[in-house]
Amino acid sequence: MSPAVQIDDLSFAHPGSDLPALERISLLVPTGESVALLGPSGAGKTTLLALLDGRLRGWQGRTSVLGASLDPDRPPLRARRPDTGFVFQEFALVERSTVLRNVLNGRLGRMSPLRALMGSSTSHDLETALAALADCGIADLAERRVDSLSGGQRQRVAIARCLAQEPRLILADEPVSSLDPARAAEILTLLTGAARARGATAMFSSHQPDLARRFAQRIVGISGGRVVFDVPTSDLSEEATANLYRDTERMPGVGLRAVS
């Protein structure tokens, strides 16, 4: 079975920037594993996840996701995109639409183009969306408009939309950065549990080492666009974590790209 993610010698610089956002990254994520990308703000975690979601162009190296290699010059085939689900840091929901409509939006890539345009979901689409809502504990919010929800509820809607997509790889960008510790643990339990129940691979980024330890089988430390460590959670030393953050403390506000 091919790995969920395979990255060889990947480098990327944002357009108009000389400094690399990602530098010579290699990473192998087996199917079904739950991986945390740990690192300070600006380390390149979001960039790496967006690249795996097929949203960045002009990188160097070789990357394959779910057995298909990504093309640095063009977006992935639309038919493949639903297989990779993405939970956005700022939720990226349609605020004026209902919770159910937002979750059904996750089904759009699996519908025929005409059905997607008309918004006429099949009973299977509806069942999948309702099941995702139930899994996220928000079945009772289905008819509410998103702009009437709290931050924690919105995060659950964003995850439900991702699950409705029936992804085999779930990428989550700082899924709990805006939540208090108790809510954060709830959301990560939900996210990693849902991935496990579906046999899906999960990668989430975080800047909180304790959460990464609790919810990931493996932790990849990223700093200045480079992988600084890649270890099973049980092998992660306090020292490695401390080193990851030391550089940022030394250079407040400058960011790690300037250091490397």
Partner 1 sequence: MRFRGFGGFAASTLVAGAILWSFMTTDVEFSRLLSAGPRIAEFLGRMFPPDPTVMREIMKGGAETLRIAILGSLGAVVLSAPLGILASETMVSPPLYRTVRTLLAFIRAIPLILVAMLMVGAVGLGPLPGIIAVAFHATGMLAKFYAEAIDGVSRAPIAALESAGAGPLARLRHAIWPQMAPVIARDTIFRFELNLRESLILGIVGAGGIGFYIQTYVRSFQYDKAASVTLAVIVMVVAIEAINVALRRRFA
Helix (H/G/I), strand (E/B), else coil: 71: coil
**How many CA atoms within 13 Å lie on the side-chain side of 206?**
27
For residues 175 to 194, the per-residue mask of contacts with partner 1, x marking binding by CB under 8 A and - elsewhere, is --------------------
| 239 burial level (CB within 10 Å; 0-12, 13-18, 19+) | exposed
Cβ atoms 156, 150 nearer than 8 A: no
Kindly tell me which residue out of 6, 34, 63, 105 binds partner 1, with binding defined by CB under 8 A: 105
- Please state the separation of Cα 124 from the chain's center in Å: 25
Residue 90 binding partner 1, by CB under 8 A: yes
State the nearest-atom distance from the C-beta of 167 to partner 1, in Å: 9
Task: For partner 1, give the closer residue by CB, 119 or 181.
Answer: 119
Residue 128 binding partner 1, by CB under 8 A: no
Cα distance between residue 70 and residue 219, in whole Å: 24
Cα distance between residue 21 and residue 14, in whole Å: 7
Residue 117 binding partner 1, by CB under 8 A: yes
State the nearest-atom distance from the C-beta of 87 to partner 1, in Å: 9
Kindly tell me which residue out of 2, 8, 28, 55 binds partner 1, with binding defined by CB under 8 A: 55
Task: For partner 1, give the closer residue by CB, 52 or 244.
Answer: 52
Cα distance between residue 88 and residue 173, in whole Å: 6
* Size of residue set near partner 1 by CB under 8 A: 33
Residues that bind partner 1 (CB under 8 A): 53-55, 78-82, 84-86, 88, 90-97, 101, 105-106, 108-111, 113, 116-117, 119, 161, 165
